[in-house]
Structure 1
Amino acid sequence: MSPLHALVIYVPDSHAGAVLSAIGDAGAGRLGGYTHCSFTSPGTGRFTPLPGARPYIGKAGEPQEVSEIRIECLVEEDVLDAVVQGLRRAHPYEEPAFMSWPVNGHR
């Protein structure tokens, strides 16, 4: 078994399903006899695009607040790169907000 990583992604409500499918199809959320396992919670994303940015929502220099979904899942290290590539393809933002870190898990 490959070491586990926690992955957290913030995505607009409108694209949560697409991102969940993309990361699950790439191998995120595989636990025992299950696939596409995740936890989601709603929240508000805040950002201000800088000059030169190409924001999906809003305009440069104008603060934005967006209804977003926080996606949390476990990812085996050997598929982490493929999962990140999948989330980038499915995510509408120019710079998707996500983070990952190694975790101690048991199998």
Structure 2
Amino acid sequence: MSTTTTTDQTKYKLCYFVPPSSLQATKTAIFATNLAGVFSSLTDTSKVLYTNVCWETSGTGQFIPGPESTPDIGTRGKLEILEEVRVEIQVLGRENVRKVVEALKSAHPYEVPVYEVYKMENF
């Protein structure tokens, strides 16, 4: 199984926030790329040891939809406080991150999905 489309082995971490009702859909879209949450052997990177690896934690988010918004959740001009899940997934290679983020955006219910990408160091 090929897990990367590039020789770039730079590690990145994708973190995003999603309501619990859409958690599985976003993870399914991301993992379907075969580019995220894949861990290989430290001594032989051609051996994939784990797939669909991620970290999840629950928390509370808030926002006020603006007058030009089309919110999936909430009402324009009214504070919305809701449970969300923070998901963290490792991705190898900058171009792979772009593809994984596109998969996230396509499956995420928010008009503007909240996500962050961090470049990781290898020690």
Q: Does the alignment reach a TM-score above 0.5? A: yes
Quick one: distance in 1 between partners of 2:84 and 2:122?
Answer: 28
Q: Return the match for 2:36 from 28, 35, 38.
A: 28
4+ residue segments displaced more than 2 Å: none
CA-to-partner distance for each residue in 1:43-65, whole Å, 9 max, x for gaps? Answer: 11100111110011111110001
Structure 2 residue 15 is the aligned partner of structure 1 residue 3 = no
Q: Is the 8 A contact 1:49 1:59 kept in 2?
A: yes
Give the deviation of 1:36 after TM superposition.
Answer: 1.2
Q: What amino acid sits opposite 1:10 in the alignment?
A: F
Q: What amino acid sits opposite 1:54 in the alignment?
A: T
Per the alignment, do residues 25 and 66 of structure 1 end up closer, same or farther by CA in structure 2, a change over 3 Å counting?
same
Q: What amino acid sits opposite 2:106 in the alignment?
A: R
State, as a whole percentage, how many aligned pairs show the same letter: 32
The count of residues paired between Structure 1 and Structure 2 equals: 106
The gaps in structure 1 that reach 5 residues or longer are none
Quick one: distance in 2 between partners of 1:6 and 1:13?
Answer: 20
Aligned to 2:72: 56
Q: Is the 8 A contact 1:25 1:36 kept in 2?
A: no
The gaps in structure 2 that reach 5 residues or longer are 1-7, 41-48
Structure 2 residue 105 is the aligned partner of structure 1 residue 88 = yes
Per the alignment, do residues 105 and 73 of structure 1 end up closer, same or farther by CA in structure 2, a change over 3 Å counting?
farther
**Aligned CA-pair RMSD:** 1.2
Q: Structure 1 residues 90-99 or 30-39, which shifts more?
A: 30-39
Q: Structure 1 residues 77-86 or 92-101, which shifts more?
A: 77-86
Q: What amino acid sits opposite 1:48 in the alignment?
A: I
